[in-house]
C-alpha cells in the first residue's frame, strides 16, 4: 500500500498589487492555519518519506511549515514547477515517478488542480479543497507506477475551519 497526502497551500494574500501570482505570500490567516494543520497530522503520527511542493511562495512556505512540524528536513523537499503550471496529468506523472521504496508522500499544490487530483485518485467528489486542506488517499498498489484514476480511497479530509 502507498499513501499520498495532498495539501492545498494555506491562505495567501494580494496585499501588494506588484506581487506576481507565483510570489504571493501567506496572509495572517495562512500563517496561523498552516502550523495548526501540521500539528493535527503530527499528532496522528504522520511522517512522510518524501515531500514534494510547488515552488510558488505560498505553497513552499506551507510545505516548510509542515516539514518543520513533522521533523522532515527542508533540504530534502523536492520543489517541482510542474505542480504550479500543470494539471492532473502532470501530478499523476509526478506521483508515478516516486521511488517504490517510499510508502508515504506529501504533495503541496494549488486549486483547482489539487482538488481535481484528489477526486481523480479516490473516485470521490470533494467539491473544493479548502486552503490548507489535507486529503489522505490510500492506494492499494505496490508500485507508484500503478497510481491512477480510482486506484485510491479517500481515508480522510481535514481543513482548518473544521478544527
Question: In the chain, what are the domains?
Answer: 1-8+45-127 (3.40.50.1240)
pLDDT digits (tens, 9 = 90+) for 37-80: 999 999 999 999 999 999 999 999 999 999 999 999 999 999 99
* Selection from 149, 142, 143, 146 nearest residue 124 by Cα: 149
pLDDT computed for residue 162 by the predictor: 87
Quote the DSSP letter at residue 26.
B
Average pLDDT over residues 15-25: 87
Closest CA to 48 of 108, 117, 124, 133: 108
pLDDT in tens, 95-105: 999 999 999 99
Q: How confident is the model at residue 19 (pLDDT cuts 50, 70, 90)?
A: confident
pLDDT at residue 16 greater than cutoff 90? no
**Cα gap 29→32, rounded to integer Å:** 5
Least confident piece of the model among 16-20, 98-102, 115-119:
16-20
Amino acid at each position: 500500500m502507498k499513501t499520498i497526502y495532498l495539501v492545498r497551500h494555506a491562505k495567501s494574500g494580494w496585499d501588494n498589487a506588484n506581487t506576481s501570482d507565483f510570489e504571493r505570500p501567506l496572509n495572517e490567516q495562512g500563517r496561523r492555519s498552516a502550523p495548526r494543520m501540521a500539528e493535527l497530522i503530527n499528532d496522528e503520527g504522520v511522517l512522510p518519506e518524501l515531500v514534494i511542493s510547488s515552488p510558488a511562495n505560498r505553497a513552499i512556505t506551507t510545505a516548510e511549515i509542515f516539514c518543520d512540524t513533522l521533523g522532515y528536513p527542508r533540504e530534502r523537499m523536492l520543489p517541482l514547477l510542474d505542480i504550479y503550471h500543470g494539471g492532473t496529468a502532470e501530478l499523476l506523472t509526478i506521483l508515478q515517478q516516486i521511488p517504490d521504496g517510499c510508502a508515504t508522500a506529501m504533495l503541496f499544490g494549488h486549486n483547482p488542480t489539487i482538488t481535481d487530483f484528489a477526486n481523480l485518485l479516490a473516485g470521490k467528489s470533494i467539491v473544493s479543497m479548502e486552503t490548507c486542506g489535507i486529503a489522505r488517499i490510500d492506494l492499494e498498489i505496490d508500485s507508484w507506477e500503478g497510481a491512477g484514476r480510482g486506484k485510491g480511497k479517500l481515508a480522510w479530509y481535514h481543513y482548518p475551519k473544521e478544527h
